[in-house]
């Protein structure tokens, strides 16, 4: 948990420096970078065998630093929550912190499709409604997918949609593997050139 707190503080510092105007000076000689925030919906399946699927809602924040005009390094921190899962009185909070690369297909227009692959970790906390007991666990996490960004202005854009395969490996009494779907949309701020 300490590593997650340190990562969150580092990302907050980076986002803060971008909003204070330090970032545009850094980005002038590079392909640029962007910060964004999304609402997301996760369709999760925890147990093996039957789906046992349930829905989670939350959000994620991300930072991308351009390495070339097409490739960027990405850090993504997200969190989702579900209550009374399938009538079981179990509440679940899922936090992910993943890193990797994003490839953006540049076009002459304002629409820019992208594909990404991110790996890292996830932290889950479960509690029971009306009870003081809870438990938590950590797991490997991987996110792979893509979406469409649309530049509204030179520095502000909308993530029209993002669809990702979201894999975790929490212990579940069977195969210890969850295949989840994450759908997202949001807004981003870009500094420097695309």
Check residue 133 and give its pLDDT: 61
Check residue 127 and give its pLDDT: 85
DSSP-derived 3-state class of residue 4: helix
Task: Please list the pLDDT of the chain residue by residue as tens digits (194 residues).
Answer: 455 445 455 454 554 444 444 444 444 445 789 999 999 999 987 665 566 789 999 999 999 999 998 999 999 999 999 998 888 888 899 999 999 999 999 777 899 999 999 999 999 998 876 666 678 999 999 999 999 999 999 999 999 999 999 999 988 777 788 889 999 999 999 998 66
Quickly count: other Cβ atoms within 10 Å of residue 53's Cβ: 14
DSSP-derived 3-state class of residue 60: strand
Provide the number of structural domains found in the chain: 1
Q: Report d(CA 16, CA 62) in Å as an integer.
A: 13
Check residue 194 and give its pLDDT: 62
Q: Report d(CA 111, CA 56) in Å as an integer.
A: 28
Q: Which residues contact 151 (CB under 8 A, 6 or more apart)?
A: 110, 112, 157, 190, 194
Residue 126: domain span: 2-191
- Phi and psi for 86 in degrees, rounded to 5? 50, 40
CATH code of the domain containing 10: 2.40.160.20
């Amino acid at each position: 948990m300490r590593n997650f707190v340190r990562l969150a503080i580092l990302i907050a510092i980076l986002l803060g420096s971008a909003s204070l105007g330090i970032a545009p000076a850094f980005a002038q000689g590079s392909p640029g970078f962007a910060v964004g925030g999304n609402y997301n919906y996760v369709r999760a399946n925890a147990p093996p065998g039957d789906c046992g699927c349930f829905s989670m809602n939350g959000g994620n924040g991300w930072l991308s630093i351009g390495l070339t005009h097409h490739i960027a390094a990405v850090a993504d921190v997200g969190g989702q929550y579900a209550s009374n899962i399938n009538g079981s009185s179990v509440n679940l909070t899922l936090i992910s912190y993943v890193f990797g690369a994003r490839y953006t297909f540049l076009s002459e227009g304002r629409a820019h499709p992208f594909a990404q692959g991110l790996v890292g970790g996830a932290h889950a906390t479960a509690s029971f409604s009306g009870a003081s007991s809870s438990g938590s666990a950590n797991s490997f996490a991987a996110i792979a997918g893509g979406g469409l960004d649309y530049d509204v202005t030179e520095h502000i854009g909308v993530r029209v949609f993002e669809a990702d395969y979201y894999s975790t490996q929490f212990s579940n009494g069977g195969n210890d593997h969850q295949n989840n779907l994450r759908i997202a949309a949001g807004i981003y701020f870009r500094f420097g050139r695309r």
